[in-house]
Amino acid sequence: MKRGIRDAIAFAVAFSLVAWLVVALSKPGDDSFAKAVGAERLNELKSGRELTQDELILKIGDRSFLADNVTKTFTVTVDLNEDNWDLGKMSGRFKDGSSAEIYFEESYKRYDKKSVVLNGKRFKFIAIKDGRSYAEYDLVFARPLK
């Protein structure tokens, strides 16, 4: 086989592999490091790990949030004039710099945004710290203060 054809085939295979990986590893509507897994899976993820009281910094898009220390609740303001849940990527890190994997019991995106805000619906999630321990939190959405 001629060198030019072999190089073209190698490039096509490499390009196809990279494109496949990008598609396979990205999920539309996924919140980056936050995933909705259901109550049963959430309990499985907690099993064998210690509960920690370490504080999580939740990042959504370009905004960072701290939870209320007493209720372990994050309150995130959202624009009620827009129906979509396009908040940006969600990730977390503990205050000591440790990484966090975030798992929700259910996805807030399944619900109407206005109903969620007006009814004060809480979304339970855990943040797994370095694979060894976890912290439990709630996330609520609110309208911005005027």
Per-residue pLDDT tens for 38-89?
999 999 999 999 999 999 999 999 999 999 989 999 999 999 988 888 888 9
Residue 90 backbone dihedrals phi, psi, to 5 degrees: -110, 130
Tell me the whole-structure pTM to 2 decimals.
Answer: 0.74
Residue 136 backbone dihedrals phi, psi, to 5 degrees: -105, 140
Instruction: Identify the DSSP state of 105.
Output: S
CA atoms within 13 A on the CB side of 143: 11
Report residue 140 as tokens: 């609520």
